[in-house]
Structure 1
Amino acid sequence: MVLTEVLRRKIEEMPRFWKRVLLIGFDVVTLIVALWASYALRYAVWWPDISPERVFLALLAPAIAIPIFIRMGLYRAVIRYLPDTAIWTILKAMAIATMIWVILVFLMEMSGRGIVPRSIPFFYFALGAALIGGSRFTTKIILSHGTGLRRDERPVFIYGSSASSVQLAQALRGNGNRFIVGLLDEDPGHHGRDVGGYRVYNPANLPRLIEQYGVQEIILSLSTISADRRRSVISKISGLGVKIRTVPDISDLVDGRYLANQIREIEIDELLGRSFVPPDPQLIDSIVKGRVIMVTGAGGSIGSELCRMIVQWKPECLVLFEANEFALYKIERELAGLTRCPIVPFLGSITHPGRVNQAIETHKVDVLYHAAAHKHVPMLEANALEGIENNVFGTLTVAKAAFEAGVGHFVLISSDKAVRPTNVMGATKRWAELIIRQMALEAERHGTGQHFCAVRFGNVLGSNGSVVPLFKQQIAEGGPVTVTNPDMTRYFMSIQEAAELIVQASALSVGGDIFLLEMGEPVRIGDLAENMIRLAGFTVRNDENAHGGIEIRVTGNRPGEKLFEELFYDMANAMATQHPKILRADTKLADHDDVLQALQALKAAVDTKDEQAARATLFRFIGLEFPPSSTT
């Protein structure tokens, strides 16, 4: 083992020029030895007679072969990454060199006189090819599969032993600084076997293998197995203190692109247990294609994802309405490279009626997705008047402008925090829902045929201000990861899935609807933090691991936070739709006069900057006490 490591290090440190010189010199000696061995085999003696003619032929053999080897590229290849198919090039080069050598032997009339028996060329070809090819592949094994590693190499296991796994391993050998220790497969029939030159190990032995080989990373090549099985594999290996990454299926990759470039980190949404339902193209097409679409809050996390999805379905025009200049610039630049449909950026606040009216009327908007809102719970608790102004009266401004301009479909992006809210953010979202329902009633009374609806769902992974990016940042900084209450539960879904379901829900609207997106099972925040720490390749510091890993620090509930969230006021009233992930709440439209009167009272409190009165009105109208009597 020590000798192999020393030899490996010496070869790696040698300049490329001297490596080629060494290889050519080795081949010269090897070919001479092959010819000598051929005579030894022919005469069955260790030391055949050495005549001047035989010495000349021994020197002639490498003089013929080396130029052929150079011409056929045997000295251009990097031995560490030598492909298995190189054996055919070696055999071809050796066959040509042998034939030329035989021709010269005949021309010099050395054949048949005891100098070169007829069997010698066959022995020479076989031994030369074996020694030349064997030396190269032995060196490759020492360099690529030895027990030692270069200083910059990271030991890696690939989970899976399919053809895609082997191709990934081969791509990684020549790309980056990963060293493939072997493959992992749960099939007992594969354990101990070599697949594509890599040993297959039992995943049950991973803790020992990780310690033995110093493995720092496991790459999953399991795209063909079920989602449940994939989650099971991730759960088993996520607590072993190694980074877990994945690659897409080989059939999904564009030809010519390296698999190594497709490696990515495991996303936390892959552990949520959510079943995937492909979007219904008819629903999306009916609401988007050929229409003028406007998205408020277009630079935010939900708004920008809505825009990315909408442009793929060929709208006539997409209007981006955003108050943040840089966010608007960023999404407009991104979308311009994704589509040929016109992208119109509008810089303005939803609380400015003139700017909102201009955006809607100038381009004759057909469908409006209202995603603009202040959403950070503690921030709105500290700035209640701004939250009410933006979320309640901003929604009223946009909804009125849409109604007056004859916008066919208006969709409010709501939140599960609107159900029995205990904070300003949730209460303002509930008010926004009631405003939209009231607008739907107005549209029905006037027979305009307009559809106003709201889509309510939980947290989206990776959205601005959400807990997941915060946890990622804290883990990257080495911890601690802070949670307010580890027993707190929240619903989560990916931003992409949320955007798809929002658009499909809007196509199902008949007016006054509150759609509820099926969010699966709620996730315990403490478990979320632990899973993210483990997926990053760290361990959790706790009583059993007091001196290592990343600590989870409990900071206590913040003002207005609930221990759990709900999607329904009454689960029994949830009705199914034609989409399995979209439910419709069976609600009655609010009385028009009550909403108007409540808005007037709320507006008066905001105008006079009376936060206490504004909070009281905010919660009283939706049937809750102020201040909230509980944070649960």
Structure 2
Amino acid sequence: MNQLVTSALQLQPRLRRALIIAMDIVMVLISVPLALALSLSNLSFDPFSWTGLAVWAGVGVFSHFLFRFGGLYGTVWRFASTPDFFNIISNCGILTVALYLTSQAARLYTPMTGLNERQFIVFFLVTFTMISAPRLLYRYLREGTGWQLGAKRNDRPGHRRALFVGQLEDADHIIRFTNTEKEKTQIIGIVATEPNVNTRDKIRGVSVVAVWPEVSGIIEDYAKDTKRVDLLIFGGGGQTDLSKFSELVRVARKGGIEVLQFSGFSKLRGGAALVLQTVEMETILRRPAVPTDLERIRAFIDGKRVLVTGGAGSIGRNLVRRSLELGCEAVLVADQSEFGVFKLEQSLSEDYCERLTCRIVDVTDKAQFTRIVSEFKPDIIFHAAALKHVPLLEDNWVSAVKTNVFGTLVCAEVAAECKVPHFVLISSDKAADPTSMLGLTKRGAEQIVNSLHFSERIRTRDKGPKPIYISVRFGNVFGSDGSVATVFEKQIMAGGPVTITDREMTRYFMTMGEAVDLVIMAAAESATRRDIDNFGIYMLDMGQPVSILTVAETMIRLAGKQPHQDIKIKFTGVRPGEKLHETLCAEGELLVSLDVNSLFGLKTGLFGWQEVRRALADLRDSIDDDDKDAAVDRLRQLYRTIDDAGPVAEEVIPLKVAT
């Protein structure tokens, strides 16, 4: 029987539909004599006469047109739901009523007996059974135990119902874990992606409902059903191992099913939890997320006092949340956005808020920033406060210099004065070979921190532990505030068009989770480096650059639309300061592999602190003169290659720098 089902699945859609139509006609023709026999009808005319046979054939032809226009052949019957069977009832009911009225009209011209309401009631029941039975049988043979997925008698109240797609080993771990009361996810079906698995198998009582490559049809059918599945969970490696991964995500999202990626278990603050991540980034990159050394970053953050500038921004607030998750003693957020701080506090749990302090602060105000650092006494400062939008900063270059350069100077200098052990600047790939004001100011900020790092280590070489000042350089964070992903999402929701500057443009991308954990990992790694092999700049491995056009097209498909058809894509031209292709490491910089996954050390030419002071003084003069060209020239001079040695060794950092 299963071989027959398999053969039917391999038929062309038109031929398969023709067979279904022929089957329905045959079933109706069988239902007529069967209903007469079951109702013990005694007809007054010979049913095998030419007239009787003509009427019998006419019933079959009429039922065909009725079922066709009644929508009986527009249903995917491998997962028929209650409305589909109601449609069968409606069509059979209309057929029965039509035949009954026809018989009543025929009595006006030809007296007949043996046909009354009883025969037509039996005919309705027999026809419904004969039409429905093959479809139910097909569905059962196609999905085996999978058709029981819709049954909710074993549901746990308040739990989200999930369909798992992946290896049985991952399924076993997840089902075992979700069976605990603390997890609010219930796995109710498995789609196996490995060979030699059949739909009769069960893992901890959960049925295998389908095997690869049938998953596309199964997910589409469940998505069309009435809220039977809330989640679609992919096992580890799904985004790289499954050829139709992007299409499966699109189908599920279009049907209102949330899609998550299983990437292991976390063990934070004495407990454990499933790590389920959204799949948009992996769908676009076709690569797995960078695995996190949770034990190491937890050991680094646990018990520390953490200050995050720009803590209400997208990267900042995720650093705040992650620090709280990893067990820090307290977090201080310094941000000038009142509304951003309010939203951050509202998004955190009560337990986290007990360890959170927020201050509305402009990081360029040295007196105010010194006061909060002196009071809070942080062990580490994550400096994420910055202006970052390329086109806006080309016109507002003064604000870019004041915030990104002098704001970094204030924060780093205060950290030195207040003897903060660790300072981490969040930098950008646009600092490599910069062509924009954002890139120039970020590179200037890197040079400030780099000079401070090595000058301080020289100043304190005979005085015990040395303070650490580092920059972490990486590219675009997918989904951060104002990123291309959020812009595209709004444009898609509005019906388009999606605007791209150039069809050839590429960018480096990583997920927010990857970026935040690797920033913390860079800080943890820098704390272990000796003087002979330490770095002032670290760079994250961003993988391969991704086409912005590909990002747009993928996001449109994930939204259930077709790019260039349902949603138009418009090319607007490269804006001032933008590059077609970014680089993470510039010419004259040396990239050094570390024993840390996806993390590199970056060596560049050094400036002595006195040189930095002179360059910043000239830069301040350019701002006072409102001379953008002079400011750009000063920022370009604040860079040298690794072969250029600066007079760092003989300098001691002055702790009072006018800003």
Specify whether residues 435 and 201 from structure 1 end up closer, same or farther in structure 2 by C-alpha distance, changes over 3 A only.
closer
Counterpart of 2:237 in structure 1 is 226
Residue 492 of structure 1 contacts residue 522 of structure 1 at CA under 8 Å; is this kept in 2? Answer: yes
CA distance in 2, matches of 1:201, 1:381: 54
Counterpart of 2:561 in structure 1 is 538
Counterpart of 1:518 in structure 2 is 541
CA distance in 2, matches of 1:188, 1:264: 26
Correspondences of 1:429-440 after superposition (within 5 Å): 429-440=442-453
Counterpart of 1:258 in structure 2 is none
Residue 284 of structure 2 contacts residue 550 of structure 2 at CA under 8 Å; is this kept in 1? Answer: no
Specify whether residues 588 and 551 from structure 1 end up closer, same or farther in structure 2 by C-alpha distance, changes over 3 A only.
same
SS at match of 1:516: strand
CA distance in 2, matches of 1:446, 1:378: 40
> Which of 493, 505, 510 does residue 510 from structure 2 map onto?
493
Correspondences of 1:556-575 after superposition (within 5 Å): 556-570=573-587, 573-575=590-592
Q: Deviations for 1:363-403, whole angstroms, at most 9, x for unmatched residues? A: 21221110000011111011011100110011101111111
Displacement of 1:164:
7.0
Displacement of 1:596:
1.6
Counterpart of 2:630 in structure 1 is 613
Residue 475 of structure 1 contacts residue 550 of structure 1 at CA under 8 Å; is this kept in 2? Answer: yes
2:415 maps to 1:407? no
Q: Deviations for 1:524-573, whole angstroms, at most 9, x for unmatched residues? A: 111111111111111112xxxxxx42111111111110111111124982
Q: How many residues align?
A: 458
Q: Structure 2 counterpart of 1:223, which letter?
A: F
Residue 294 of structure 1 contacts residue 318 of structure 1 at CA under 8 Å; is this kept in 2? Answer: yes
Correspondences of 1:120-135 after superposition (within 5 Å): none
2:617 maps to 1:590? no
Counterpart of 2:397 in structure 1 is 384
2:328 maps to 1:299? no
Displacement of 1:276:
3.9
Q: Structure 2 counterpart of 1:430, which letter?
A: R
CA distance in 1, matches of 2:276, 2:596: 33
CA distance in 1, matches of 2:545, 2:568: 23
Residue 428 of structure 2 contacts residue 475 of structure 2 at CA under 8 Å; is this kept in 1? Answer: yes
CA distance in 2, matches of 1:470, 1:266: 18
CA distance in 2, matches of 1:430, 1:250: 35
CA distance in 2, matches of 1:251, 1:595: 46
Specify whether residues 501 and 213 from structure 1 end up closer, same or farther in structure 2 by C-alpha distance, changes over 3 A only.
closer
CA distance in 1, matches of 2:225, 2:434: 48
Residue 245 of structure 1 contacts residue 266 of structure 1 at CA under 8 Å; is this kept in 2? Answer: no
Displacement of 1:241:
10
Specify whether residues 441 and 338 from structure 1 end up closer, same or farther in structure 2 by C-alpha distance, changes over 3 A only.
same
Displacement of 1:145:
8.0
Counterpart of 1:581 in structure 2 is 598
Residue 231 of structure 1 contacts residue 271 of structure 1 at CA under 8 Å; is this kept in 2? Answer: no
2:551 maps to 1:528? yes
CA distance in 1, matches of 2:302, 2:574: 45
> Which of 423, 426, 430 does residue 436 from structure 2 map onto?
423
Residue 241 of structure 1 contacts residue 534 of structure 1 at CA under 8 Å; is this kept in 2? Answer: no
CA distance in 2, matches of 1:287, 1:480: 46
Residue 161 of structure 1 contacts residue 183 of structure 1 at CA under 8 Å; is this kept in 2? Answer: no
Specify whether residues 191 and 478 from structure 1 end up closer, same or farther in structure 2 by C-alpha distance, changes over 3 A only.
farther
Q: Which runs of 5+ in 2 are unaligned?
A: 1-19, 22-80, 84-132, 141-145, 149-161, 176-187, 267-274, 642-659
SS at match of 2:244: helix
Q: Deviations for 1:201-259, whole angstroms, at most 9, x for unmatched residues? A: 87479589969997899988453353454553313546779727425669989xxxxxx
Displacement of 1:472:
0.9
Q: Report which stretch shifted further, 559-568 or 196-205.
A: 196-205
Counterpart of 1:314 in structure 2 is 327
Q: Deviations for 1:112-149, whole angstroms, at most 9, x for unmatched residues? A: xxxxxxxxxxxxxxxxxxxxxxx9xx9xx99x989xxx
Residue 238 of structure 2 contacts residue 245 of structure 2 at CA under 8 Å; is this kept in 1? Answer: no
TM-score by structure 2 length? 0.60
Specify whether residues 80 and 183 from structure 1 end up closer, same or farther in structure 2 by C-alpha distance, changes over 3 A only.
farther
CA distance in 2, matches of 1:240, 1:290: 45
Residue 470 of structure 2 contacts residue 536 of structure 2 at CA under 8 Å; is this kept in 1? Answer: yes
Displacement of 1:316:
2.3
Specify whether residues 593 and 264 from structure 1 end up closer, same or farther in structure 2 by C-alpha distance, changes over 3 A only.
closer
> Which of 362, 384, 392 does residue 349 from structure 1 map onto?
362
Specify whether residues 523 and 338 from structure 1 end up closer, same or farther in structure 2 by C-alpha distance, changes over 3 A only.
farther
> Which of 466, 469, 480 does residue 452 from structure 1 map onto?
469
Q: Deviations for 1:579-610, whole angstroms, at most 9, x for unmatched residues? A: 11110012342233322211111001112333
Counterpart of 1:102 in structure 2 is none
Superposition RMSD on alpha carbons, in Å? 4.5
Displacement of 1:617:
2.2
